[in-house]
Amino acid sequence: MPRVPSVSPATGHPTPPYFIHTTDAQFVDNAGRSLLLRGVNLSGSTKAPTGRQSQTLDGFWESGEEGSESFVGRPLNIDDGSADVHLARLKGWGFNMLRYVVTWEALEHQGPGQYDYEFMDYTVRVLRKCKEYGFWIYMDPHQDIWSRFSGGSGAPYWTLPACGIDPRNFTATQAAIVHCEYPNPAEADPSKLPAMIWSTNYGRLASQTLFTLFFAGRDFAPKCIIDGVNIQDYLQSHYIDAMGELADRIRDAGDLVDECVIGWDSLNEPYEGFCGYPDLNEYPSEQTSTLKKGTFPTPAQSLRLGMGQKQTVDNWKFGAFGPKRDGTVTIDPQGYRMWADPVSEPDGVHPTWGWRRDPAWTLGTCIWALHGVWDVESGYVIAPDYFKAFPSDMDRDVEFLEDYWRPHWQAFGARMRKAQPEAILFVAPPVFAPPPPISEQDLKGRCCYSTHYYDGLTLVTRHWNWFNADALGILRGKYKSPVQAVKFGERAIRKSLQEQLGVLKDDCKILGSYPTIIGEIGIPYDMDGKKAYGYTDGGKYRGDYAGQQKALDASLNATDGPNALSYTIWTYCPDSSHMWGDGWNLEDLSLWSPDDLRLKDEYQMPFAESSSAGLLKKASTFAGGNASRASTLTLSTMQPLDGRSEDKPRVIDSLDPWENAYDFLTDGARAVKAFCRPYPRAIVGVPADIQFDINKAVFKFSVRVRPEDLPRAEALLPPKPSSSSSGTSSTLVPEPEQLATEIYVPLVHYASDKVVSHFAREQSPDDETCLPDSRSSTPVVIAPGSRRPSISDLSASWKSGPKALGTPLALSVEVSEGRWVLDGQMLKWWYPVPSAAEGERTYTITISRDGGAIKAQSPKRTCSLWKMLTSCCRLM
């Protein structure tokens, strides 16, 4: 790693010890070690307000029209103690990075320019709690399909009437599929919403119109003037100002920016709308976000439906071999229109939101008809290629990324940098689209390419198949025929997934020598008719996540190998449930669910029906205070709440319900062995290859080390204090320890037989046999003090009393060079950095579990354990 600069490339200010650099295609700490940042999205639940999951119809429209919903309590309950348990779990799984989900609606739901400062202050509190646990965070301005009120998440309700739209008629016109109204408001049964059909909204009129106005309203909708500005400027300025207001609030907190919140992602999964469509009479062939499933109108048919005209459209079904046309369906809106009635704005002024609409923008009719795209009376599309080229220059075709997305990204990034000058700006173009070139004047040496990847076949079919396809290769034109993209067998599938992520990593070269993070990656847990939840076969397979484990391991294995990618898995939802999944459009990707806890009666985690924020009852009594300055933050600092009634379920606010750390980290987790995996967190050198065999619990890591990779340990220390003015006293500053490569070694895979057997009650609880307290190839004295709190030694919380089990890990370690020492779940490995004369060297470490991989415990034994702890037990 080239010696990191002592001053920031963005500001020229000296870099503090906690500074994270983005150079040489890596995240790099201030000492010059490469970093892998891996974690989760916190949280998918944040797409909806507290207590208002997407299946709830009662009060849905009214609360939006009033702007009364609050997101306080998202993503974690900071007041009842449960946040500490959730964050301890995430930290114990080895995660060090959070993608923190926040929506525009959460900030500005009360109306244009009316900010929810209570929610912003609550967000600061949650961020501080995350900081206590040592997490780095990048903020995610999240959206899907524009808004909750158009079938997704993101923008506040008032943006829809601002665009001249009446969202209450989305279902009738099929301009959008809205979960709580599915299949129609009169006979709503949201539990029947087909898997992933929400994403077909990208091919429907509401989303197509809203994103066109947001990104390109000045060019394609010049008549759409509101409060004296084009709708594009109106929407973008409100969105950027709202996110900027939150960024200012985080900055003003004084202890979060750069040290914890390292930067900002750009708008989640942006969509081009109509921009670049070659022919409105045909299905778009180049869109990357549109799933063919269910009814699938052409853009021209959508325009007619939006004006209440009956249309017969193609219907599609998605099977194991992808989408297939399945006849036609006639949609009759019965005269309902997507467009707002003129009476909703007397004299051109909205009675609730207060904006004034330009007289040329006539309500009640399609804005694209107003601009001469089509004729409402005849239904004829006058200008089918209207969106293909610039109206002012018909000889120049639209390039969405360069012409519309990049200017927005630049404006957003400039506002975030105003609040946080050192912010790492994450570049997130549309899904699977390579980023456009961006000037270094905008990037300023502080950038990361943020892309998403899902195994689409598994996601849509909800099944782990024996075949798959190179979806990215098909979209990028790699194959003459899609048949060539098909991969058969698990080995070929895993190889293909890894190659696809390698292609995405290579896309970053367009931006420069910056790191890449996979901002979203994950799998559905409700596979095969929710078999793992006991919904099939008489409950025979309840708790069996074998298929999910194979699917998630294949996806996360793709981030390993030579790719060595950072990532944040989608998602972790504190109020996940088997019935409603993540609480949004029946997506069910949460790594953990309270419905999978082995213990249900005496203790409880917040459930989807009540929501975590509905439990804002008691102030947390957890110790910690200024824990971010301590050398460690172990789970032993957590204390249970006092004075709780014993005659009703108690919120889990401590670790009392769990036998040991292994018990804690596996309880409620789904396919935990797939996502709780070993990886190098800080590396002296550059990662060359990462291999992990989940079935054998064998981890192998190779690192390339060059002369310039010698780390500077002193760069991680705070500045030395100046001597006192009297000169009679001084502060002793310890010498920094030699920096090592740090590898997370998960208890989930490498727990000792003592730990596992105690958990499973295979040994007598009074057995006094213990393993040695430490394992090391060479005795190493570890200098005290660390910039970030750590709970890598999770077993410390159970080292006293009857639960003491000695060293929790059973390892066999082989290194090609150097020495190592185990510290909790962290293995430190020292090796020589070659001299200039020696040149580059490659070192390898292999970590295995003594006795082989841990075997799954039988449900019967697990149940008997909980019967010993409580009088009531529910086997999951």
What is residue 635's predicted lDDT score, i.e. its pLDDT?
31
CA separation for the pair 480, 494 (Å, rounded): 22
CA separation for the pair 298, 311 (Å, rounded): 10
What are the angstrom distances between the C-alpha of 40 and each of 554, 632, 819? 17, 22, 32
What b/e string do you get for 151-183 counting C-beta neighbours within 10 Å, with b at 16 or more? bbbbbbbbbbbbbbbbbbbbbbbbbbbbbbbbe
CA separation for the pair 819, 699 (Å, rounded): 17
The pair of structure tokens assigned to 614 is 């509905």
What are the angstrom distances between the C-alpha of 665 and each of 86, 149, 184, 654? 10, 37, 42, 13
* Catalytically annotated residues: 269, 520
CA-wise closest residue to 466 among 435, 442, 489: 489
Pairing of strands 698-705, 841-849: antiparallel
Q: Mean pLDDT in runs of 10 for the chain (876 residues)?
A: 84 97 97 98 96 96 96 96 95 97 98 98 98 97 98 98 98 98 96 95 97 98 98 98 98 97 98 96 71 93 98 90 89 97 96 97 98 98 97 92 98 98 98 97 98 96 95 93 94 98 98 98 98 96 97 98 98 97 98 88 47 30 30 30 40 82 94 98 98 98 96 89 51 70 97 83 37 33 30 50 60 97 96 95 98 72 30 27
pTM, two decimals, is 0.90
CA-wise closest residue to 798 among 809, 789, 811, 807: 807
CA separation for the pair 466, 125 (Å, rounded): 46
Q: How many CA atoms lie within 13 A of 822 on its CB side?
A: 21
In 3-state terms the chain splits into helix, strand, coil percentages (rounded to 5) of: 30, 20, 50
CA-wise closest residue to 420 among 446, 449, 441: 446
Q: Which residues lie across from 742 on neighbouring strands?
A: 682, 828
Residue pair 580/53 in contact by the 8 Å Cβ criterion? yes
- Domains and their CATH numbers in the chain: 41-153+230-270+398-427+456-499+519-588+600-656 (3.20.20), 678-718+736-869 (no CATH)
Q: Give the Cβ contact number of residue 814 at 10 Å.
A: 12
Residue pair 595/667 in contact by the 8 Å Cβ criterion? no
Residue pair 32/715 in contact by the 8 Å Cβ criterion? yes
What is residue 647's predicted lDDT score, i.e. its pLDDT?
45
Straight-line distance from the first to the last Cα atom of the chain, in angstroms, rounded to the nearest whole number: 48
CA separation for the pair 290, 292 (Å, rounded): 7
Q: Is 248 helix (H, G, I), strand (E, B) or coil?
A: helix
Residue indicated by tokens 């005290």: 784
What is residue 737's predicted lDDT score, i.e. its pLDDT?
76
* DSSP string for residues in 606-618: --TTT-GGGG--S
What is residue 649's predicted lDDT score, i.e. its pLDDT?
52
